[in-house]
Amino acid sequence: MRAATRHLLSIADLGAAGIEELLRLSDSFVEVSLRAIPKVPALRGKTVATLFAEDSTRTRLSFETAARRLSADVMTFHAASASTRKGESLRDTAETLAAMGVDAFVVRHSCAGVPVQVARWVDACVVNAGDGAHEHPTQALLDCVTLRQVLAERDGRAVEDCGVEAFEGLRVAIVGDVRHSRVARSEVLALSALGAVVTLVAPGSLLPPSLDGWPVEVSHDLDEVLGSTDVCYLLRLQVERGTAARVPTAHEYSTFYGLNARRARSMPEGAVVMHPGPVVRGLEISSEVADMPRALIRRQVSNGVALRMAVLFWLLGPDRIGLEGPDMDRIGAGHPGSTGDALVEVGGA
């Protein structure tokens, strides 16, 4: 029996327990991704629709790959290029797709709140794949997956043995266009829920107008912050949202807030650099830094598929797992100790 329809609209809906559950679920799917045939039948018969009204090929492909690896059927809708151009409203589009039998919508839109609205309009699960400057929950979660792997490696532990308590006291600097960044909002919620200490580093004109209630420190001096930072998280300057008028010149921004090799070397031993992509080399990050071993950018991307598999499974899987405790056996992912009774691996090893 399905309880109230579950959605992933904001990190705030998850809390630390929900985040931990999704991280642990994703461990199993990371393992699946490494197989010769990286596919499980967990969501066979389910339909996942990607409803993207803003171009983002990377995120859409990541979700669609995740859905296919779970054996779900995938429906792709580019709102920017189809019915909406003929004047159909987003609500009509969503309701029309829902009428075809969609179990989960993955929604991306340039306006904040659209996934929340879609969740009100249709009777299906909704995943926020990025909405305006609001949130991008799966980005924050996949970054937590990546950081947890790094923390486990640092301590010489298996990632499964690394609980979220490892995030406690982790010093994270989020640098750049926080004002327009949905990634930053999800990142702040997720990292602070796990006990990390977050510092926003940006000129005043790129900070949100109010930081009331944000569990963050603020600095305007990147050099000062970097010496005591474990994770330097760089944000892309969102020129399409009017950032250009908020800094005098790209050169000035790069001079004061760009991560160049000199700055990267001033970070503590073992500190890492992250970026949600797409990277603009030479602006927020220099090419040299982007290619340093401490830059986790590629790893973030590869963890994206596993995390999104975890999210889709969490929303749509059989015997949907409750927040009270994940049961790895149910995913049939060949997790060590799994009985694998519910599901059979496609293609048989």
**With respect to other proteins, which residue has the nearer C-beta, 90 or 274?**
90
Q: Kindly report the number of other CB atoms within 10 A of residue 285's CB atom.
A: 28
DSSP-derived 3-state class of residue 49: strand
**With respect to other proteins, which residue has the nearer C-beta, 37 or 111?**
111
**With respect to other proteins, which residue has the nearer C-beta, 210 or 339?**
210
**Which DSSP string corresponds to 116-153?**
HHHHHHSSSEEEEEEETTTB-HHHHHHHHHHHHHHHHH
Minimum CB–partner distance for residue 97 and other proteins (Å): 16
Minimum CB–partner distance for residue 252 and other proteins (Å): 23
Q: Are 289 and 266 in contact (CB under 8 A)?
A: no
Minimum CB–partner distance for residue 82 and other proteins (Å): 17
**With respect to other proteins, which residue has the nearer C-beta, 95 or 288?**
95
Q: Kindly report the number of other CB atoms within 10 A of residue 91's CB atom.
A: 13
Minimum CB–partner distance for residue 213 and other proteins (Å): 6
Strands across the sheet containing 73-78: 73-78, 47-52, 104-109, 125-131
- Report the interface residues with other proteins, using CB under 8 A: 89-91, 109, 111-114, 116-117, 120, 131-135, 180, 182, 185, 208-214, 242
Distance separating alpha carbons of residues 68 and 258, to the nearest angstrom? 38
**With respect to other proteins, which residue has the nearer C-beta, 91 or 154?**
91
Minimum CB–partner distance for residue 200 and other proteins (Å): 12
Residue 36, amino acid: A
Minimum CB–partner distance for residue 139 and other proteins (Å): 14
**With respect to other proteins, which residue has the nearer C-beta, 242 or 278?**
242
Q: Are 117 and 7 in contact (CB under 8 A)?
A: no
Q: Are 273 and 292 in contact (CB under 8 A)?
A: yes
Q: Give me the residues paired with residue 281 across strands.
A: 285
Q: Which residue has the tokens 């990390």?
A: 196
